[in-house]
Amino acid sequence: MADLSQQDWTKQLKEDNNSVILDVRTQDEVDLGMIPDAIHIDIFKGQGFIDEIEQLDKSKSYYVYCKSGGRSGQACAIMNQLDIANAYNLLGGFTDWQGEVAHKQ
């Protein structure tokens, strides 16, 4: 797991052709907007979160965020335990996000 600043996280994401953006916030938080092209798996689902993470392609790199960086750090640690080697935590999370924001229609 690596904690990356937004600048490093977005730079590395752009250069990574085998990447997935993962939003681990609650549905209510996601409804306020999310980083474009992110997939959503709520970390508060407990075992359901683990079950969904285990279905992911372990060969990909995952760029993980939450509201402020705490839950996404936990998610990255869980992902590492589940044999996903490349999980990158966005420090400051969505709260400090300066990039594009997508809203569900």
Q: Annotate 41-71 with DSSP letters as a single string.
A: --GGGTHHHHHHHHTS-TTSEEEEE-SSSHH
pLDDT digits (tens, 9 = 90+) for 59-89: 999 999 999 999 999 999 999 999 999 999 9
How confident is the prediction along the chain (105 residues), in pLDDT tens digits per residue? 799 999 999 999 999 999 999 999 999 999 999 999 999 999 999 999 999 999 999 999 999 999 999 999 999 999 999 999 999 999 999 999 999 999 875
Is this prediction's pTM over 0.75?
Answer: yes
Q: Classify domain 2-96 at the CATH topology level.
A: Oxidized Rhodanese; domain 1 (3.40.250)
Domains of the chain by residue range: 2-96
Task: Report d(CA 96, CA 67) in Å as an integer.
Answer: 8
Task: Report d(CA 94, CA 69) in Å as an integer.
Answer: 8
Q: Which phi and psi (to 5°) does residue 34 adopt?
A: -150, 165
Task: Report d(CA 15, CA 25) in Å as an integer.
Answer: 25
